[in-house]
Amino acid sequence: MSERELSMSEQDVTMSERELTTGERELTTGEHELTTSAPNREPRLDVLATGLTETRPVCDLLSAQLDAVIDETENAAIGFIDRVHAIDGAVDLLQSRMGELVSQTDRQADVLEQMARDNAAAIEDVRVSIADRDRKVRELVGELRELERYGRGIRAVAATSKVLGLNALIQAAHAGDAGASFQVVANRIQDLAGDSDVAARELEHGITDLTARIMATIGDESKGAGDSQSSQFEHRLGAIADGQATLSAHVGELRRSVEDANGATQTLAELATGIAADVQFQDITRQATQQVQQALKRLGDRSELLIAYADGRAEAEEIESTLNALEQMSGDYVIQRQRAIHAAVASGHDGDLSKDGPAIELF
Amino acid sequence: MRTALLVDDSKTILMSLSEVLKRAGYTVQTAGDGEDAMAQINAGAKPSVIITDLNMPKMNGIELIRAARKAPAIRFTPILMLTTESEESKRAEARQAGATGWLVKPVQPADLLRVLDQVIPKT
């Protein structure tokens, strides 16, 4: 026992001379005496203990670095979620505006379609009215031409009267003095015949001129549809209707474009939501990293135990009870991939990911 | 209006899944662990569904399920485990404790919403 006490005190002296920094360390191997096994083991234990001294600080430092990694990834993930949330807000607003635009273009398209139908009906009404008017006017022209015939009749009567008057003059001349008054009447008849003929000619001429002007206005059917005023009017109305139809078609295209844009914003909203969910990776890596930290802590604990053993402060049995690091790590895993990696490293073969249960299971 | 109680010690999980559920029309409450969740329940919260992580400080997911199944107000409320864990023994333990279902992270939003539609009773 006294030798042991002596060796313990000498170890204490040596321990007090050691520098416990990562920089300089003095190894003293001179004066220790072993109380157990071989006499020359003490220096090797001392070297071992000295070498293990850095292990705990290194493990603590690594764990602190991993804490920083966890914090950084968490901050990044939160920032990411915040941005996605902002995108969601913008997408919501865009969808709302798109919805309003779709409704407005729908209403405009409906209005234009109704206007086009109404205009087409109005154009048809006008065309029918114009055609009816033209028909009636042609009927009137026909009746006027009938009057022309009467004029010719009057002229025929006037010509006959003139002949009769001439005949009467001849007869009156043959009658001498007795025919003087008859001669006056015959002259008057001739005058009247002449006036009638003039009036009838003027009437004919007037009717011909009037019918020509009327036909010029409504258009002569024999010359084709392009020349008539009514066909020109129809043509202009048709151009207006065509313009409205073109506008209606453009509004229809606009509506389709707006609907496509609306669909795209919906897709964008779904993508944004999906991205927010993808951030779950941060939690998975956090848990995996925390298990590495646990293993580092156990490594640090064991190194301190080994140092204690080398200093005679711990027994071999305590160390033996810690020789299950791999088993403990395996027990800590929560992700099948971790187990697969563990198995692969341990066995030298690829891990089996197929032993997982289903990703979604309802009980 | 459907209400979901999300229980997880990960801030990012709470934020990201809250976003998913709110866009789907849910009112969302959150808790950082099982104890916090039970405190809310004991204070009167009656969510339509509880979605909980497994590994949490103070009270883990399975302990939460056992406690929740003893609370009269939410005894029959669907409780889904949402966890990175995939081991069959844990799954069986959750089933035995009274969990309604098990989802492995990361879960796709469409899958989560579909499962919620299946487990939340229609009113």
B107 touches chain A (CB under 8 A): yes
pLDDT digit string (tens) for A97-145? 888 888 888 888 888 888 878 887 887 888 888 888 888 888 888 888 8
Q: A347: which DSSP letter?
A: H
| Alpha-carbon span A139 to B83, nearest angstrom | 95
Quick one: tokens of A134?
């033209």
- Contact (CB, 8 A) for B14 and B8: yes
What is the average pLDDT across A223-240? 69
Read off the pLDDT band of A40 (50, 70, 90): very low
Which residues on B lie below 8 Å from A332 (Cβ)?
A: none
**Beta carbons of B108 and A277 less than 8 Å apart:** yes
Q: Indicate the pLDDT class of residue A35, thresholds 50, 70 and 90.
A: very low
Compute the average pLDDT of residues A220-235: 62
Percent share of chain B, pLDDT over 90 = 85
Q: What is the pLDDT, as a whole number, of residue A178?
A: 87
* Partners of residue B102 in chain A, C-beta under 8 Å: 357, 360-361, 363
The reported pLDDT for the residue numbered A19 is 40
Return mean pLDDT, chain B: 93
Is the pLDDT at A16 greater than 60, yes or no?
Answer: no
Cα dihedral A278, A283, A284, A290, rounded to 10, equals 160
Q: Give residue A229's pLDDT band: very low, low, confident or very high (50, 70, 90).
A: low
Other beta carbons within 10 angstroms of residue B71's beta carbon come to 13
**Is it the case that residue B26 has pLDDT exceeding 60?**
yes
**Residue A223, pLDDT score:** 54
**How does the average pLDDT of chain A come out, rounded?**
79
Q: Which of B50, B67, B49 is nearest to B58 (CA)?
A: B67
pLDDT value for A248? 78
pLDDT at position A28 is 37
User: What pLDDT score was predicted for residue A31?
Assistant: 36
Contacts of B119 in chain A (CB under 8 A): 362
Name the closest residue on chain B to residue A77, using Cα atoms: B12
The residue in chain B having the minimum alpha-carbon distance to the alpha carbon of residue A335 is B85
Q: What are the residue ranges spanned by the domains of chain B?
A: 3-119
The model's confidence at residue A227, banded by pLDDT at 50, 70 and 90, is low
Nearest residue on chain B to A285, alpha-carbon basis: B84
pLDDT of residue B14: 95
pLDDT score, position A30: 37
Global ipTM: 0.86
Torsion angle of the four alpha carbons B3, B9, B15, B21, in this order, in degrees rounded to the nearest 10: -30
Asked whether the beta carbons of A285 and B53 are under 8 A apart, the reply is no
Among residues A118, A189, A126, A196, the alpha carbon closest in space to that of A154 is found at A196
Closest to A283 (Cβ–Cβ): which among B13, B103, B115?
A: B13
Q: Do B104 and A360 touch (CB under 8 A)?
A: yes
Tell me the CATH class for B3-119.
alpha beta
Please list every residue in chain A whose beta carbon sits closer than 8 Å to the beta carbon of residue B89.
Answer: none
Q: Is B102 on the interface with A (CB under 8 A)?
A: yes
Are the C-beta atoms of residues A219 and A231 closer than 8 Å to each other?
yes
Two structure tokens written together for A344: 């692969």
Q: How confident is the model at residue A32 (pLDDT cuts 50, 70, 90)?
A: very low
